[in-house]
Amino acid sequence: MKGKNPVFRGAATALITPLTREGVDYETFGRLIDWQIEEGIDALVIAGTTGEGSTLTDEEHRAVLRFAAGRAAGRVPMIAGTGSNDTDYAVDLSRFACGVGYDALLVVTPYYNKATQKGLIRMYETIADAATKPLILYNVPSRTGVNIEPATYRALSEHPGIAGVKEANGNLSKIVETFALAGDRLDIYSGNDDQAVPILAMGGEGVISVLSNVLPRQTSLMCRKFFEGDLRGSMAMQKKYLPLINALFSEVNPIPVKAAMARLGWGENFLRLPLTPMEEAHEKILFDLMAGEGLIG
């Protein structure tokens, strides 16, 4: 039995942040949060990678976190993206998020300056020591250039403030090793939509999802079917949505999901540089798949 309570179980949407050239579109953002909760999503992640946290100003980042926590008003667990390659800044932002009502913090590995495994341990322990809410570590080496090794997870699992992992290294063999070394002490969430059910099958607690921006009810149901023992039903949903998942990652996230959400009426298809709108050929494939699911005409 694990010694820490899961922050959530099921599907958490790594939510987009609706933006315009003038700034954050809070009217759309508020409606989007309400819709996600009404559709039955299990948790929300605010200002992570999909939420373009890396190009929000510090003032905007804090305002977005405060607004989203207030709008959700305790209806679902709320997780704040507070990672940075500057540990002191991550500490400060994490303290802020704890203070405005978040249930947990999603902290990505440091990017560009990177770190050794020793550096990762010291960074995460420093942030966890300063925070009053649990950390979910975020491992995405394709974006950051640094990978958390299974033995490092085991060492970090000893900290009472480190509760889980969003694992997006894509290497199922390494993920199995992490389950073997630390799965009894860390809740492991898939960070890749195409690996959600395989990670659930290893004992994972759910997925932190891009797909669920578009299909919150269905992504949550895929997890729920698994937990209720309907493995075949869960697997069928994983396979059914694989083409749409692939289209949502045909360009760097969140470029495709921003296009998809704009097409569904959730704000403008606007991204901040260096991100640019989706290429037309990829967009056509994405929209055709969305039409096939009955999402658009």
Q: How far apart are CA 190 and CA 222, in angstroms?
A: 13
Q: How far apart are CA 274 and CA 38, in angstroms?
A: 33
Contact 115, 83 (CB under 8 A): no
Angle 29-30-35 from CA coordinates, rounded to 5°:
95
- Told to judge if 189 belongs to the known catalytic residues of this protein, a careful annotator would answer no
Of residues 133, 153, 166, 241, which has the active-site annotation? 166
Q: How far apart are CA 203 and CA 210, in angstroms?
A: 21
Contact 18, 28 (CB under 8 A): yes
User: The tokens 């550096």 sit on which residue?
Assistant: 119
Q: How far apart are CA 150 and CA 175, in angstroms?
A: 8
User: The tokens 């669920």 sit on which residue?
Assistant: 212
The one-letter amino acid code at 76 reads V
- The torsion angles phi and psi of 210, rounded to 5 degrees, stand at -90, -40
- Told to judge if 138 belongs to the known catalytic residues of this protein, a careful annotator would answer yes
Question: Which pair of structure tokens corresponds to residue 232?
Answer: 């075949």
Q: Torsion over CA of 58, 61, 66 and 72, rounded to 10 degrees?
A: -170
Of residues 102, 124, 133, 138, which has the active-site annotation? 138
* Catalytic residue annotation: 138, 166
